[in-house]
């Protein structure tokens, strides 16, 4: 059995799912509102001879008919940033307000960090953390090119992270886009399935759970935590959230994303999960011609 076959019982159209996983991804960029609004960014690309197709669910997402948008001057000047479409979901779901204190727990290479800075109008405090020192250069470079001046970069283990020295007691909002087995990236990473499977997912789920717990504990009462992965594995998605719902002061809340999706699971492989996990969303490659993704929104103190 190959790595994806175990998901046949939970995917609405398994044949379409498998076919989509074998196609290359569309080329997509995000307009960076810190430097240019989506209309201006799209016009600049079209002036370069690049055809742009807008996305109705998010006006900042632009499909382009080039696989090298990084060679255009709008990219060089920070008007756009290459970002896979479903990767833009969690920041939109977190939806921070200008002036908020926000923590991006696993931030490198910075696509979601810089999107959060854009949503903040580059006003507030955005702590962008990653425990991989080698990836911080990309995070810093992207923040600088895109003009995200509200970003403070840190290099800590997210499981033991603190905001000491930054003048805040708790965060208003936290994005926990955690390390995962990355099955949902199969359309751009041909080797994404080489080391995946139930055991790999169970092994990394312990780390994911610890990061999510830390995110919850560093968020003020009434604040928001968004948990996301780019994997299909329930062990890393619903299983992780179900575990923290048992003993953390947090509840899943509804959110809207105008993309086709499937609800979170309440049962998998003989296990049952909290019924509120239907409020989470699964995005499969065949539903919107994207990569695979999982996203859940939690309110602290609920």
pLDDT, one tens digit per residue, over 50-105 is 999 999 999 999 999 999 999 999 999 999 999 999 999 999 999 999 999 999 99
- Residue 108, annotated as binding a ligand: yes
Does the residue 7 lie in any domain?
A: no
Domain that holds residue 199: 86-300
CATH code for position 267: 3.40.50.150
- Residue 107, annotated as binding a ligand: yes
- Does the pTM of the predicted model rise above 0.95? yes
What's the pLDDT score for residue 40?
Answer: 98
How far is the C-alpha of 279 from the C-alpha of 250, rounded, in Å? 14
Determine phi and psi for 271, rounding to 5 degrees.
-105, 150
Does the residue 40 lie in any domain?
A: no
Strand partners, 81: 30
Q: Which residues are catalytic?
A: 230
pLDDT, one tens digit per residue, over 184-219 is 999 999 899 999 999 999 999 999 999 999 999 999
How far is the C-alpha of 61 from the C-alpha of 64, rounded, in Å? 10
What's the pLDDT score for residue 2?
Answer: 87
pLDDT tier at 1 (50, 70, 90 boundaries)? very low
pLDDT, one tens digit per residue, over 91-106 is 999 999 999 999 999 9
- Residue 106, annotated as binding a ligand: yes
- Residue 111, annotated as binding a ligand: yes
Does the residue 202 lie in any domain?
A: yes
Host H or E run for residue 226: strand 219-229
Does the residue 127 lie in any domain?
A: yes
How far is the C-alpha of 87 from the C-alpha of 184, rounded, in Å? 11
- Residue 130, annotated as binding a ligand: yes
pLDDT, one tens digit per residue, over 134-162 is 999 999 999 999 999 999 999 999 999 99
How far is the C-alpha of 224 from the C-alpha of 174, rounded, in Å? 6
Does the residue 95 lie in any domain?
A: yes
SS (HEC) of 82-95: ECCHHHHHHHHHHC
The whole-number average pLDDT for the span 270-280 is 97
- Residue 109, annotated as binding a ligand: yes
What's the pLDDT score for residue 138?
Answer: 96
Does the residue 132 lie in any domain?
A: yes
Q: List the strands of the sheet with 52-54, edge to edge.
A: 52-54, 61-64, 28-31, 80-82
Number of C-beta neighbours around residue 47 at 10 A: 11
Please give the tally of structural domains in the chain. Answer: 1
Does the residue 188 lie in any domain?
A: yes
Does the residue 10 lie in any domain?
A: no
């Amino acid at each position: 059995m190959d790595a994806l076959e175990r998901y046949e019982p939970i995917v609405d159209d398994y044949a379409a799912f498998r076919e989509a996983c074998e196609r290359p991804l569309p080329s997509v960029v995000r307009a960076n509102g810190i430097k240019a609004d989506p209309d201006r960014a799209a016009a600049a690309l079209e002036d370069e001879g690049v055809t742009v197709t807008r996305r109705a669910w998010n006006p900042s997402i632009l499909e382009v008919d080039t696989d090298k948008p990084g060679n255009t001057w709008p990219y060089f000047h920070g008007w756009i940033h290459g970002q896979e479409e479903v990767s833009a979901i969690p920041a939109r779901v977190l939806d921070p307000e200008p002036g908020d204190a926000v923590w991006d727990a696993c931030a490198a290479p910075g696509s979601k960090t810089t999107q959060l800075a854009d949503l903040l109008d580059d006003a507030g405090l955005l702590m962008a953390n990653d425990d991989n020192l080698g990836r911080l250069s990309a995070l810093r470079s992207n923040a600088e090119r895109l003009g995200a001046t509200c970003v403070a970069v840190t290099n800590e283990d997210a499981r033991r992270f603190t905001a000491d020295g930054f003048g805040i007691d708790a965060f208003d909002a936290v994005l926990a886009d955690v390390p995962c087995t990355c099955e949902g990236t199969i359309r751009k990473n041909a080797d994404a399935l080489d080391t995946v499977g139930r055991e790999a997912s169970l092994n990394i789920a312990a780390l994911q759970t610890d990061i999510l717990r830390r995110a919850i504990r560093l968020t003020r009462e009434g604040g928001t935590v968004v948990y996301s992965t780019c994997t299909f594995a329930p062990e890393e998605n619903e299983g992780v959230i179900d575990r923290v719902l048992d003993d953390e002061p947090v509840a899943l809340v509804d959110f809207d994303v105008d993309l086709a999706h499937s609800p979170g699971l309440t049962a998998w492989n003989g296990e049952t999960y909290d019924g509120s996990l239907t409020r989470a969303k699964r995005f499969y490659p065949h539903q919107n011609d994207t990569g695979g993704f999982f996203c859940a929104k939690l309110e602290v103190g609920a």
